[in-house]
Amino acid sequence: MKSGLILLTCLIFFIPPAFADNVDFYIMKISPEEVAPGETTTLTITIANLGIDYAAYVHAVLDPESTSPLSVLGAKKIYVTKYAAEGQPTKYFGVILQNERFTVRYRVHVDKDTAFGTYTVPLKLVWRDEYNNVQSETLEFGLKVAGDPEIVISGVNKTPARIYPDTEFTLVIAFENIGTAKAENVKVELSLPQGITGERVAFLGTLERNRQAAAAFSLKAEKEAEAGARKIGVKLSYTTEEKAREEFDKEVEIFIYEKEPAKLEVAGLDTSPAKLTPGKAFTLSIQLENIGKQDAKAVKVELSLPETFSGARTSYLGTIKQDDTSTAIFDLEVLPLAEPKSYSLPVKIYYLDEKGRLHEEEREIALTVTRPEKRMPLKLLAGIGILLIAGIVWWRRRKSAQL
């Protein structure tokens, strides 16, 4: 009986403790601790064996059931070796001793539609204990998914494309959220330079990740606006998903072109009567058309008359608007000794532009003087008529006598 108890005691002593918890793994550090939706990064996990024994043939499997928002790019199973820092080995080269630390690295991608929050990610460790029994343990760590909006100006457009003083135009600024979170309550404010007036504020609402939105402003370059490049300040403010208020300042540039002056061309020429002869008076009409880019004010037309013409040399037309016409009228006379031919008359046109500056343009017109028509005297015409009648009567009488 006594020998049986001793044998039983020895058997119990030599039975391998298959379920003894002599290895105890803990996650000591993860990096990074925060990731963003759509991000691809290297996840580094440092683990320590705080048990009383060693672990052999250790391998780690990240998120074996795919329950987290992480997608592992490459093998999920990594064997732990002394050279684990150099890659992802697939063969065993050593053991994890008591109080020893090791690191595993995974290349992971976060789903772009992942909602913000902290997620529990499982890491399964599998090893063999000192008795060559397979052991496993699932560790968990928290991973925060968060992000920040990043809004940039993606385009600037103007209608019309060329802006002149005293011109209304529409400025459209496009924004794109290239960040990792949506921006809410997006507000755009303009700081307009001197000479530019109009709308200053626009609201875009919520700008999701990888989306664009545009703000349109109705503006005007005032008449006194100086030509050249102009900087418009753009202040963008928004609220993050964590309810923080953010803002940034940018600038866009527009160019104001010097407004082209008025341009007066001779669009028509007329005389009354149409045929000019020496010693006769006539009315000259010169039609002017403004084909320039602004109104011509206080228009005055001056003729330089040759010696064979006399009469009024100046005509005042007032304002000729852009794309409009007006007629300068001159009462003139062709002197009796004028030689029949074509005469060139220089024309000077004076006007003020919209800023009050004086302009002068020179044109030239041509007038043709012809000889007067020669007419027979009435007495001579009457005599010729009488002779014709007498001849006809004589011819008829002679013909009757012959019969």
CA–CA distances in Å: residue 81 to residues 84, 298, 390: 5, 95, 149
Kindly state the percentage of the chain with pLDDT values over 70.
85
Instruction: Give the residue from 126, 145, 164 where a domain finishes.
Output: 145
Query: Is residue 40 a part of any domain in this protein?
Result: yes
110-129: burial string, b at 16+ Cβ within 10 Å, e else: beeebebeebebbbbbbbbb
- Residue 399, pLDDT score: 66
Of 109, 113, 108, 250, the C-alpha closest to 181 is: 113
d(CA 393, CA 403): 16
Q: Cα angle at 304 between 303 and 306, to 5 degrees?
A: 130
Residues 74 and 101 occupy one common structural domain: yes
User: What are 382's two structure tokens?
Assistant: 């009457």
- Residue 78, pLDDT score: 86
Residues 138 and 162 occupy one common structural domain: no
Query: Is residue 332 a part of any domain in this protein?
Result: yes
Secondary structure (3-state) at 258: coil
pLDDT (tens digit per residue) in 93-115: 468 888 989 899 999 999 888 88
pLDDT at 374 over 80: no
Query: Is residue 384 a part of any domain in this protein?
Result: no
Count of C-beta atoms within a 10 Å radius of residue 361: 16
Give the mean pLDDT of the chain. 85
pLDDT at 382 over 70: no
pLDDT (tens digit per residue) in 242-255: 788 999 899 999 99
Dihedral, CA of residue 175, residue 177, residue 178 and residue 181, to nearest 10: 170
Residues 155 and 134 occupy one common structural domain: no
Query: Is residue 391 a part of any domain in this protein?
Result: no
Comparing 356 with 270, which gets the higher pLDDT? 270
Query: Is residue 89 a part of any domain in this protein?
Result: yes
CATH code for the domain in which residue 184 is found: 2.60.40.10
- Residue 88, pLDDT score: 46
**294 — pLDDT class (breaks 50, 70, 90):** confident
- Residue 400, pLDDT score: 67
**380 — pLDDT class (breaks 50, 70, 90):** low
Boundaries of domain holding 191: 151-256
The partner residues of 78 in beta bridges, in order of sequence, read 60
* Phi, psi of 5, deg, nearest 5: -65, -40
Residues 213 and 305 occupy one common structural domain: no
- Residue 223, pLDDT score: 84
283-311 mean pLDDT: 92
- Residue 95, pLDDT score: 82
* Phi, psi of 315, deg, nearest 5: -140, 135
d(CA 182, CA 206): 7
Residues 130 and 171 occupy one common structural domain: no
- Residue 89, pLDDT score: 46
Residues 246 and 289 occupy one common structural domain: no
> Could you say which DSSP state residue 7 is in?
H
Residues 129 and 156 occupy one common structural domain: no
Of 142, 141, 214, 210, the C-alpha closest to 174 is: 214
Residues 24 and 138 occupy one common structural domain: yes
Comparing 35 with 16, which gets the higher pLDDT? 35
Query: Contact, 331 vs 283, CB < 8 A?
Result: yes
- Residue 388, pLDDT score: 75
> From edge to edge, which strands make up the β-sheet containing 70-72?
25-31, 40-49, 101-110, 70-72
Helix (H) or strand (E) holding 320: strand 314-320
pLDDT at 44 over 90: yes
**377 — pLDDT class (breaks 50, 70, 90):** low
d(CA 45, CA 58): 14
- Residue 402, pLDDT score: 63
Each as own residue / partner, the long-range contacts of residues 246-254 (CB below 8 Å, 24 or more positions apart, any chain) are 246/149, 246/183, 248/151, 250/153, 252/153, 252/156, 252/171, 252/173, 253/229, 254/158, 254/163, 254/171, 254/196, 254/229, 254/230
Residues 131 and 173 occupy one common structural domain: no
d(CA 85, CA 81): 9
Instruction: Give the residue from 101, 119, 145 where a domain finishes.
Output: 145
Concatenated DSSP letters for 76-118?
Answer: SEEE--TTGGGS---S---EE-TT-EEEEEEEEEE-TTPPSEE
Q: Tell me the longest C-alpha to C-alpha distance in the chain.
A: 201
Query: Contact, 384 vs 392, CB < 8 A?
Result: no
Comparing 58 with 259, which gets the higher pLDDT? 58
- Residue 43, pLDDT score: 95
Residues 251 and 315 occupy one common structural domain: no
Query: Is residue 8 a part of any domain in this protein?
Result: no
Look up the pTM and report it: 0.57
pLDDT at 170 over 70: yes
Q: Cα angle at 275 between 274 and 279, to 5 degrees?
A: 120
Query: Contact, 261 vs 353, CB < 8 A?
Result: yes
The domain tally of the chain equals: 3
Comparing 15 with 115, which gets the higher pLDDT? 115
Instruction: Give the residue from 101, 117, 145 where a domain finishes.
Output: 145
Query: Is residue 381 a part of any domain in this protein?
Result: no
For 140, what's the count of Cα atoms within 13 Å in the CB-facing half-sphere? Answer: 8
> Could you say which DSSP state residue 74 is in?
S
Residues 58 and 106 occupy one common structural domain: yes
pLDDT at 371 over 50: yes
Residues 167 and 272 occupy one common structural domain: no
Query: Is residue 12 a part of any domain in this protein?
Result: no
pLDDT (tens digit per residue) in 200-227: 999 999 998 889 999 999 999 998 888 8
Comparing 209 with 296, which gets the higher pLDDT? 296
